[in-house]
A and B are shown apart, each in its own frame.
Chain A
């Protein structure tokens, strides 16, 4: 039996977090009525002209610097010509000849714990297309240009990956870097990060690459894994049955777990690139580069070191929290309010992780505010709620971002620390349970647990157990 090696390169499209589109002032905000975020420029009206958004260039440079690229200091845009209804000019303004970044790399951790560099061939800037909505039964599609002209960078890797695990590790690394830079939120499910997979197989030990195919329409890590497995098997089957692999673009159907060729006589795939005459060259001076470099935010490694140093957080915990920009942001913002990094870290590491898993959510989807988590931490510090109530309240915060102070008040969950009420309840519990009192006094110290339980029950859970213990011990003296 022959052994085959999979060779994978990725083309990753990332929507940049600018407020406006790449060539006009229309908002990039998600949603909105169809065609509400449009103007003559992003709908290809005759006579309209593009003007480049400076922030797009700065984000692209920032990503390039963070991925060890060489920045092309004299770069240009080109037109990529093809007809499709979501492409209003029937050309896309992109970069072919002089992309803004080249020859970079990112380091990933492999399954065996080793490290590997994945090369980045280039990063270029381009505009996104509009959205097509197809009705299932009719003969028509609807075109909405709200996304048309949203800025993208396309990160083209070298064919350096050999497995789905490496692909996922690479994507996670890219996502982390870009999120840390604030250049994009990189949400796969919303399409602000999209990956096309170029895959070929070759016999183990072969020096030449096999013929590759490109797979599109991959919008989750799961889909990417399945598509890689599926395509690898398809190609091996073809080779083993003596057939040729055709270099083509294929569309992954995740439901059917199969990819389909997107061939058509009308898709000549001859894009007739030429320099965009409506835009002028971008000259990136050393000063501009230095300025962007000096503004680069703290990336993950630096942040991790700082958490250990500044907040005295264990390496493991700091590693988990900084593994995701959203978690790190929540950690820092919450800590800034309540000044209790240990507690904040605990809530993130234990309860937040548990709930994310339970709800099958990514950290990016967290909606609760640092303010409310900080308030909850303060309530526990003040012993105003006990730990089991706090957990219950946190679930509410996680789900609906409720204000814990109000919630506790409204639902009467406040721990009764008022000495008088608690003391009389305990006195009653002692009077009602002479056997336990006797056991305790006879040396069975554990019997106090039962009395605490009874007290908590009588208090409907609202008492602070530490306080109950203290008063009980005192009364039983």
Chain B
């Protein structure tokens, strides 16, 4: 395997992705990501110099909305699935 994924990398990516892996999952992830990257490295065979990166397959642009407000009170729908609701707000563990 050309791409060796370290424990630190898995830890770091876990922080970015907010995933906490078990010992077994970590080992699997190291192996899987390493193998996937080896496979993805195949792209390096391609000469892409001078090629514009393409986000959208065809050119659609300038899709806008006019600045007209809706008068709906979204409260109940917004909170309908809240795991924990406090008054009209979502409750989360203290952030400071």
Residues of A within 8 A of B (CB): 18-20, 25-28, 33-40, 43, 51-55, 57, 76, 81, 83-85, 132-134, 138-145, 265-266, 268, 270, 272, 275, 277, 279-283
Contact = CB atoms under 8 A, between A and B. Distances in A.
B61 A39 contact: no
A268 B16 CA distance: 7
20 contacts: A19-B69, A20-B70, A33-B88, A35-B90, A38-B74, A43-B78, A52-B63, A52-B64, A54-B64, A84-B95, A133-B89, A138-B94, A140-B92, A140-B93, A142-B89, A143-B89, A277-B55, A280-B61, A281-B59, A282-B62
B19 to A, nearest CB: 11
B90 A85 contact: yes
Given A141-B96, A277-B55, A283-B61, 15 more contacts: A19-B68, A26-B74, A33-B88, A35-B75, A35-B90, A36-B75, A53-B66, A53-B67, A54-B66, A85-B90, A140-B91, A142-B87, A142-B92, A265-B15, A282-B62
B80 to A, nearest CB: 10
Contact of A27 (B69, B75, B92): B69
A149 B58 CA distance: 28
Q: Mostly helix, strand, loop or mixed at chain A's interface?
A: loop
Contacts, number: 131
Nearest to A267: B15
A53 B75 contact: no
B42 interface: no
B56 A280 contact: yes
Given A38-B75, A268-B15, A283-B61, A141 B95 contact: yes
Interface string B28-72: 000000000000000000000000000110011111111111111
A275 B88 contact: no
B61 A25 contact: no
Question: Which one of B15, B56, B89 has the highest number of Cβ atoms from chain A below 10 Å of its Cβ?
Answer: B89
Contacts of A139: 93-94
In this complex, which of A52, A268, A275, A280 has the most chain B Cβ atoms within 10 angstroms of its Cβ?
A: A280
Contacts of A268: 12, 15-16
Contacts of A279: 63
Contact of B74 (A19, A39, A141, A280): A39
A139 B84 CA distance: 13
Nearest to B60: A280
A141 B62 contact: no
A85 B83 CA distance: 13
Interface size class, chain B: 35 or more
Contacts of A140: 86, 91-94
A76 B71 CA distance: 29
A280 B77 CA distance: 28
Contacts of B95: 84-85, 132, 134, 141
Contacts of B56: 277, 280-281
B79 interface: yes
B90 A53 contact: no
A39 B15 contact: no
Contact of B88 (A36, A57, A270, A282): A36
Given A54-B64, A54-B66, A142 B90 contact: yes
Nearest to B71: A27
Given A36-B75, A38-B75, A83 B89 contact: no
B73 interface: yes
B65 A25 contact: yes
Nearest to A272: B16
Contact of B18 (A34, A83, A138, A141): A83
A250 B73 CA distance: 37
B39 to A, nearest CB: 21
Contacts of B93: 139-141
A35 B70 contact: no
B63 A51 contact: yes
Contacts of A275: 55
Given A36-B73, A280-B56, A143 B68 contact: no
A54 B62 CA distance: 9
Contacts of B74: 26, 35-39, 43
Contact of A143 (B15, B64, B65, B92): B92
Nearest to A145: B78
Contacts of A33: 73, 75, 88
A275 B67 CA distance: 24
Given A85-B95, A140-B91, A39 B72 contact: yes
Contacts of A26: 69-70, 74
